Structure 1
Amino acid sequence: MKTNAARQVRAKIEDYTRFIYILLALSGFLYIGTLISNHEHHGGTMTIMMSGTFVLLLVSFLFSYKVKKLRSSLEE
Structure 2
Amino acid sequence: MEDKKIKQLEAKVTDYKQFGFILLSLSIFLFIGLVIPTESTVIVVPNLFIAGIFIALALAVVFHRLAMKAQKQLYEENTH
Partner of 1:65: 65
1:19 alignment partner in structure 2: 19
Partner of residue 48, structure 2 = 48
Q: Matches of 2:61 and 2:15 in 1, distance apart?
A: 14
Task: Give every structure 1 segment of 4 or more consecutive aligned residues whose post-TM-superposition deviation is greater than 2 Å.
Answer: 37-42
TM-score (norm 2): 0.82
TM normalised by structure 1 equals 0.86
Gaps of 5+ in 2: none
Measured in 1, the distance between the counterparts of 2:51 and 2:75 equals: 36
User: Which residue pairs with 1:28 in the alignment?
Assistant: 28
Quick one: percent identity of the two aligned structures? 32
Compute the RMSD of aligned alpha carbons.
Answer: 2.0
Aligned residues: 75
